Amino acid sequence: MTSSAPSTSPTLSTAELIALRDSARSDYAKLVERGLSLDLTRGKPSPDQLDLAAEMLTLPAGGHRAADGTDTRNYGGLHGLTELREIFSGLLQVPTAQLIAGGNSSLTLMHDSVVHAMLSPLPGAGRRWADEERIAFLCPVPGYDRHFALCERFGIELIPVPMTAQGPDMDVVERLAGEDAQIKGIWCVPKYSNPDGVCYSDETVRRLAGMRAAAPDFRIFWDNAYAVHHLTDTPVEIADLLALCAESGNPDRPFIYGSTSKITFAGAGVAFFGSSPANVSWLLGHLAKSTIGPDKINHLRHVEFLRDEAGVLEHMRRHRELLRPKFDAVETILAKELGGTGLASWSTPQGGYFVSLDVLEGCAREVVRRAAEAGIALTPAGATHPYGDDPRDSTIRIAPSYPGLEELEAAITGLTVCVRLVATEKLLESAR
């Protein structure tokens, strides 16, 4: 996924470095003078992506009845509308009967899963997590800051695991999960991962499903946020975790999440939870105490608009038309400005919402700071790591989706100036 690994000692002479730094300083001064105000921080759909679903604002147009006659306006129906779950069953690799359609946020479903595990024993658990001395989660890094924040909020210890091009380093995962019964979970974004666009290989998924876990209540938090968010003609398929877990005798291991936040409306989509029958009953039993049911009108609205699985894929093709030029622009500018310099490497994702930029060790924070001074807002360096601590201080997450193409190009070009400036200053400093 990564075009080249950044070296900490590019083969440039001191004179060449000084020339590079001086030109970067001059470019940076001009950049600051432009007084930009650009934002690459969050993976938000752009207004024109949201416009693709404009029709939804005034749906449902066909009345308020679900396929089975349910009045979607009234209370009830904890599972969510069957016809909506049917549309997403194949896409999320969860049988319809084991798939719950909820409110507008999959993060909420992840949060609620942790909350209920804190306060009630999971299937297979001896006791609730709140009564454990210590709980830990494995966190493949770089990863998603909101996963980490959710765990930190509950005092759950975060253990980083290195990512490879095939997913988390499974030798490390198997060793840690196999020996430490206090490790209760692992965060996974298995397809087009946030931020580096990795897709888990079949072998990785198979090992996750089949490995020994010391904790009887170990769970894989499978945040399949980008299941259909392809950027190429050859959509990536990942292995079926739920089926593999069941085949391996670990049916209750996966908690699967998805949503339409980046399909229809980011703030008004529908979130999904899928798992084994035992886990689904466990969650529904607790949800029943906190709600009389999700917003079924919004479910119906989604069914009318998306129609079926093919409708989802066709809609995603239109998103791709808007997103692909932005990702191409990022790749083109990074290659033009930083290619062959040895000062940075970056991912070229085949889907999802992010590009991961790796700068020389010890430079990421300074690059983000310099960019901010030039009016280019980036996700804080370190956010991709537990506790905001990237020990190499080298990963920067780029979110190209929200700005317009021209703004994006200006921001990425400016960012490369900051990378050249900080890297050359650093190299010259350590050469002294």
Provide the minimum distance between the beta carbon of 50 and a second copy in the complex, in angstroms, as a whole number. Answer: 4
Q: Is residue 278 a contact point for a second copy (CB under 8 A)?
A: no
Determine which residue in the list 267, 340, 406, 429 makes contact with a second copy, applying CB under 8 A: 267
Among 11, 13, 234, 290, binds a second copy (CB under 8 A): 290
- What's the closest the beta carbon of residue 116 comes to a second copy, in angstroms? 9
Please identify which residue in 194, 298, 356, 394 interacts with a second copy, judged by CB under 8 A: 298
Count of residues near a second copy by CB under 8 A = 53
Cα 131 to Cα 124: distance, rounded to the nearest angstrom:
15
Tell me, what amino acid is at 234? T
| Shortest Cβ 427–a second copy spacing (Å) | 39
331 is a site residue for a second copy (CB under 8 A): no
Q: Can you tell me which of 86, 157, 240, 295 binds a second copy, judged by CB under 8 A?
A: 295
Q: b vs e for 193-212, b when ≥16 Cβ sit within 10 Å of the residue's Cβ?
A: bbbbbbbbbeebbbbbbebe
- Applying CB under 8 A, the span of 157-165, 266-274, 336-344, 405-413 interacting with a second copy comes to 266-274
Interaction between residue 130 and a second copy (CB under 8 A): yes
Comparison of 106 and 279: residue with beta carbon closer to a second copy: 106
Q: Sheet containing 344-346: which strands, arranged edge to edge? A: 344-346, 355-359, 395-398
Q: Which is nearer to a second copy, 253 or 296 (CB)?
A: 296
Q: Please say which residue, 31 or 271, places its beta carbon nearer to a second copy.
A: 271
User: Which part of the chain contacts a second copy (CB under 8 A), choosing from 261-269, 361-369, 376-384, 412-420?
Assistant: 261-269
Measured from the CB atom, the residue of 10 and 293 that comes closer to a second copy is 293
Pair of tokens at residue 309: 């699985």
Smallest distance from the beta carbon of 272 to a second copy, in angstroms? 15
Amino acid letter, residue 114:
V
**Binders of a second copy among 180-209, rule CB under 8 A?**
none
Contacts of 314 (CB under 8 A, 6+ apart): none
In the complex, minimum distance from the CB of residue 339 to a second copy, in angstroms, rounded to a whole number: 33
Among 29, 67, 97, 119, binds a second copy (CB under 8 A): 119
**Nearer residue to a second copy within complex by CB, 293 or 375:** 293
Closer residue to a second copy in complex, CB, 19/292: 292
d(CA 40, CA 377): 6
Told to check if 407 binds a second copy by CB under 8 A, we report no
Position 265 contacts a second copy (CB under 8 A): yes
Among positions 297, 313, 322, 405, the unique one binding a second copy when judged by CB under 8 A: 297
**H, E, C per residue of the chain:** CECCCCCCCCCCCHHHHHHHHHHHHHHHHHHHHHCCCEECCCCCCCHHHHHCCHHHHHCCCCCCECCCCCECCCCCCCCCCHHHHHHHHHHHCCCHHHEEECCCCHHHHHHHHHHHHHHCCCCCCCCCHHHCCCCEEEEEECCCHHHHHHHHHCCCEEEEEEEECCEECHHHHHHHHHHCCCEEEEEECCCCCCCCCCCCCHHHHHHHHHCCCCCCCCEEEEECCCCCCECCCCCCCCCCHHHHHHHCCCCCCEEEEEECCCCCCCCCCCEEEECCHHHHHHHHHHHCCCCCCCCHHHHHHHHHHHCCHHHHHHHHHHHHHHHHHHHHHHHHHHHHHHCCCCCEEEECCCECCCEEEEECCCCHHHHHHHHHHCCEECCCCCCCCHHHCCCCCCEEEECCCCCCHHHHHHHHHHHHHHHHHHHHHHHHHHHC
Binding to a second copy (CB under 8 A): which residues in 98-117? 103-105, 107-108, 111-112, 115
Nearer to a second copy, 25 or 286 (CB): 286
Among residues 141, 263, 266, 367, which is the contact residue for a second copy, using CB under 8 A? 266
- By CB under 8 A, what part of segment 137-176 binds a second copy? 146, 149-150, 153-154
Return the number of the residue (200 or 221) whose C-beta is nearest a second copy.
221
Q: How far is the CB of 409 from a second copy (least distance, A)?
A: 22
Closest CA to 111 of 62, 149, 69: 149
End-to-end Cα separation, the chain, in angstroms: 35
Which 24-83 positions form the footprint of a second copy (CB under 8 A)? 42, 44-45, 47, 50, 53, 57-61, 63-64, 71-77
Q: How far is the CB of 22 from a second copy (least distance, A)?
A: 41
Residues that bind a second copy (CB under 8 A): 42, 44-45, 47, 50, 53, 57-61, 63-64, 71-77, 103-105, 107-108, 111-112, 115, 118-120, 130, 146, 149-150, 153-154, 261, 265-268, 286, 289-298
